[in-house]
Amino acid sequence: MDDDILTIEEVAKYLRVSERTVYDWAQKGEIPSGKIGTVWRFKRSDIETWVNDRLSGDRMGPQTASISIDAIISPGRILFLNYYSKRDVLVALADNLGGAPQVKNRQELIQEILRREELMSTTIGRGIAIPHIRLSSVTDLVVSVGISRVDITDFKALDDEPVRLVFMIAAAYNQHAYYLQTLSFFSARLKNRELRDSLLGAKTEDDVYGILTQRSPQTSNL
């Protein structure tokens, strides 16, 4: 079946690479994946599309320079959150994102974001989650950012660190390459501890927007 769920071992065998390589790609957001509990899982149809994109020359890897933050995020898509439950967080961000002109069906977005999170956790460690979805009712990629003032403990992060930063990505169904590139961009950039601390310490939506649209500081990645 096209929607079979694969393990790291099965993906590694299919791609003829090591399991460690697949794990690293998943951690960096470079391959379509998610977590069920604390283990990575992969949808077969997404992996096949990802392979086809790469073999056709549409390589995503480290190519992140073309991501323009101000084209996909605005101050109005930034929220300060005070929810302890990931469901409340996801609904709030999806509802906010549903107001973007690129999103034509707010309710579908909310439902599909929740459904995807039930299937696979979108945490990447370091207190970060990047819930993401592609839908035919979305006309162009757009992002909503959540800065949580409290720990969100039920995302089931592999490193057990409570989530405080949530970047929600909604893309058109035919934007698979750009979608993966955006995931990889945020996964890589948010490894920067100084950037994460700056976002958590921001006071206003404009502050967050300013931090995100500046060049990422070259400091510790811990």
Residues of the chain with CATH 3.40.930.10: 69-213
pLDDT above 90 (res 72): yes
User: What number is the average pLDDT over the span 62-80?
Assistant: 80
Domain 5-55 grouped into CATH 3.10.620: no
Considering the entire predicted model, what is its pTM?
A: 0.71
**Catalytic residue (choose from 35, 132, 164, 176):** 132
Residues 6+ positions from 24 with CB-CB distance below 8 Å: none
pLDDT above 60 (res 197): yes
> By mean pLDDT, which of 36-45, 59-68, 149-158, 189-198 is the weakest?
59-68
Annotation marks residue 176 as catalytic? no
> By mean pLDDT, which of 4-8, 59-63, 88-92, 116-120 is the weakest?
59-63
Instruction: Determine the pLDDT at residue 148.
Output: 96
Residue carrying the six token digits 């977005």 = 109
Residues of the chain with CATH 1.10.10: 5-55
CATH topology for 69-213 is Mannitol-specific EII; Chain A (3.40.930)
Q: How confident is the model over 95-141, as pLDDT tens digits?
A: 999 999 999 999 999 999 999 888 878 888 899 999 999 999 999 99
Q: Tell me the percentage of the chain whose pLDDT exceeds 70.
A: 88
Mean pLDDT over the full length of the chain: 85
How many CB atoms within 10 Å of residue 215? 5
- Residue 60's pLDDT band (boundaries 50, 70, 90)? very low
pLDDT above 60 (res 7): yes
The most confident of 11-25, 52-66, 144-158, by mean pLDDT? 144-158
